[in-house]
Chain A
């Protein structure tokens, strides 16, 4: 919750004004019973119409004042809460973008999205409501009791006596209820994840005839949810009748003693009526309570989730300094030549003790092409992810142009690298928008050059608006192969010294792939090519053969044919007497 106050500080004037306006409204409301008492005691009982006119007029006037204050408070509260949400979202997104890829992956993307949207909105609503209603509840209760005491001490005291009972009871309920609602939420998540799973796996469930099993599992989860929901709601629904019982008992006492006091001339009828009126207002205010409890427990959960993100470390100090001052620290900022050395590099994913890469050593000269082959899970993608420092190696040294990669400026390092990941990722926007993700200052000419090299230029010209054609979310209106080539163009437009293709030619047919590889040669950049096809490895200057995280062979095609049994098996399986793929010829 400390988070809320930190971010709200900037809007303290507006928030204060909103609260002030609320206090004005409150004052008007709390003065009403007193004014009624005056009308009864000085007007009606004294048969004085002018007094009634006077206080009646004041009542109307104060109603108008309260309304104006209310409208103003709406503006102030809205400004404070929306401004708060804007700042929070902005900071949160900055923070997420400052994460290293490793830290970023600690959160599921979907959970980051909820934190950025749902959780922020939840806090914003809570602040808005707090500034306008919620802080009102305790104030109305306290104010009513206070006013009752002012109107008539003895009668007011009766009302005041109910207060400790209420406070003890309510704090117990709140504590208990928020714990119970957390359980309800967990159970609900459980039910929803079973549904999600069943929808995704519906075919599998059918063919393995596990419908009964799944329905039983679901009924168990739903049953749990039902039971916890019932017991949580039972508690909150008991609150209100109980509160009413207590306060109403107070009213009965006020009536009893009031009559005695009036008979003794110690109190007036108007005073007693006013005290009763205050008691009724207390009940009214408290009826919003169970709703407030729920809102606050949700807000607490939201702010916790947001704080978790805020507490994570930013990528590295050098990058942070660079961002702040625009100057490099001690980090070396230079254009890459493209020489890459792995010196006994090993790697394991953070939080895991299973080595993904072990003792990998090789050297690549600028402009060379490296093909990386290996079984699923052998560490190919992890190896190339170390080059742009998406992850940090856990052992050994990686050198670029002879300089240790940690001594290079992160931005400069990445500027020299064109990276095409396995998974095709395009962004909403036009074709050229997508290509300029690689280099935002690229001219149209450079964009087209990159597209030509990536063998996508002709396809783009065939689109309705050429390079300005919009792509839907994730580029739905292009085929898999076209999307792949677009991601390659995006990497090429950087004119990188090092190009990484992580199995990103899989959807290309043989002819196009051949042309692409030919075009890449002309760009004379160091190329890392993860591939399954012998046809692509044959032209490589260096082939790395990985198995279970170890480098089991490196060399040219000829060297490996002579020296590696596995490589020969792969070669034979693919080029035996026929081609490997029959189905893709369409």
Chain B
């Protein structure tokens, strides 16, 4: 028992090395939150959101003023009651006095209730508007924005940062305002009642500051270290859990368990010290509170004997000192929340300030239907003004032709398709569709003429049916099934539980990568577009399955201008025209036979490969 009591004091203090976080590969310690850079500007913008409910907001502020005032009045009236009615003879009617006190209490409850209720409505409506604005804005941003940033980072702005602003608006905003008012009011009334007692009460303030400094100096590095250890542990858990298959198959459970224990111990130690020391703060506050209580009671008592102050004044002081350290404590807490919320809001606004996709020119037209004649005239393009990703590309695709894009990774194949769908616009040259410059066509209209099967097939949370139907929202169930049959997806769909109504999770778990691509192809088939873009649509589909869906794809491409990025010769050979790209340049174009006849890069690629094959088999 005695031993157990000493246990807490036996933990070794962790030694915190400077720059310890910089060792390569030690997990992802969470970075300390950046402070807001443009404090006033951000605050102004939050205000502009809040200002949409200006009238209500002013009412809230008015209520805060009332409730803070009434909060001061309550204890004061009690002090008065003691002095005038209980100690003294009492002049006016006691009943009337009690009635007015009752009214003070009633209105205090009423005003603080109203201010909270109204503020919550304002705050939540504001958050709703910010959230939907931000979301709509994201859909107007150019694709290059998403290339530049990590998805997790954008995600955290939309979720954590907004949540942060939300909770601050809910409570902290009012609390800060009322804390300041209460503080000023308390000090004012205290000074007015007894300057000497006020001064004595304030003795504890410097003590408080000193104590806080002592504590935060020690806890700051400890918390940072704990955060780092926590990040390290998170990284370790994530890694070992996603590598579980390996750990199981290689029976390495003991190894990861001991690795985990090591990290767990580190967290425990830093966590212990951080928590123990930071736990002093409320105790310090409490202790000093008790101290000032004692001072007021003791000194006030002596003064009362001399007759300088009344018992009522002491009572008021006793209650005020309690009321005075509380807002001080609140302020310190709320201030940090406020700062981090403003930093969060700033990160949200940063996204909103990102430039949107260039607006469609005023004269931009919508297309009713297209033939599908595509021309690239000397098109060059570079990302963010860097080296040219595509240079001087010229070619033509006649309506209904199948164009295959061939070339090594980084040759610019996907970029070329990005230009065609106006994710980006060319720096030089022009692209025409049916003889019309595509920049004069509304983006949405242009894109609705094409169906895409993208490299990374993406599924939404929802049923298989809904996922296919995403290609055309008004498609009937029969049409969905017909598309799935064409894509050769029908048979696997029927074999999984639930069939077309099987719910898929966002990461598409439960079906394989190849099956996802089949669904994506079905989606494109359903869209029934004039033009078709397949960006490595069959890369994760094995040869056997590809053979099976080849017919479906051929049927789909028939009569539609199609652009196909593919690896396999089978697919490539079927193309009407093959574009051979290398380092952003169009090296060769023509049919398979023409290109083989020409010699050059294409036949080198094919021949080189053949020799390798021959040497191996």
Contact = CB atoms under 8 A, between A and B. Distances in A.
A296 interface: no
A64 B28 CA distance: 43
Interface in A548-586: 548, 566, 569-570, 573-575, 578-586
Nearest to B608: A585
B616 interface: yes
Given A52-B305, A86-B264, A440-B255, A414 B249 contact: yes
B54 interface: no
A427 B106 contact: no
B243 A218 contact: no
A218 B135 contact: yes
A86 B239 contact: no
Contacts, number: 489
B301 A210 contact: no
Interface stretch (A152-160, A166-174, A417-425): A417-425
A437 B108 CA distance: 67
**Most B CB atoms within 10 A — which of A208, A222, A354?**
A208
Contact of B515 (A64, A376, A429): A376
Contacts of A196: 155, 506
Interface string A26-61: 001100100110011001100111001101110110
Given A62-B290, A213-B473, A375-B544, A226 B447 contact: no
Interface in A204-262: 204-211, 213-215, 218-219, 222-223, 225-226, 229-230, 233-234, 237-238, 240-242, 244-245, 248-249, 251-252, 255-256, 258-259, 262
Interface in A47-89: 47-49, 52-53, 55-57, 59-60, 62-64, 66-67, 70-71, 73-79, 81-83, 85-86, 89
A297 B70 CA distance: 33
Contacts of A113: 234, 237-238, 241
Contacts of A245: 105-106, 109
B143 interface: yes
Contact of B444 (A209, A240, A411): A209
Contact of A128 (B239, B275, B286, B570): B275
B43 interface: no
B610 to A, nearest CB: 5
A215 B136 contact: yes
A473 B109 contact: no
Interface in A141-195: 188, 191-193, 195
Given A237-B113, A473-B25, A96 B241 contact: yes
Interface stretch (A269-277, A331-339, A360-368, A520-528): A269-277
A462 to B, nearest CB: 19
B322 A284 contact: yes
B492 A195 contact: no
Contact of A514 (B140, B238, B547, B616): B616
B495 interface: yes
A353 interface: yes
Nearest to B514: A376
Contacts of A535: 613, 616-617
Contacts of B135: 195, 198, 215, 218, 222
A1 interface: no
B245 A425 contact: yes
A214 B460 CA distance: 11
B245 A101 contact: yes
Nearest to A472: B25
B11 A79 contact: yes
A208 B452 contact: yes
B117 A579 contact: no
B98 A230 contact: no
A511 B146 contact: no
B247 interface: yes
A444 interface: no
Closest 5 CB pairs of A and B: A56-B298, A70-B283, A376-B514, A74-B279, A67-B287
20 contacts: A36-B314, A66-B287, A67-B290, A93-B237, A93-B257, A109-B242, A112-B241, A113-B238, A116-B237, A121-B230, A203-B454, A244-B108, A354-B495, A375-B545, A376-B514, A510-B615, A578-B610, A580-B570, A581-B567, A585-B408
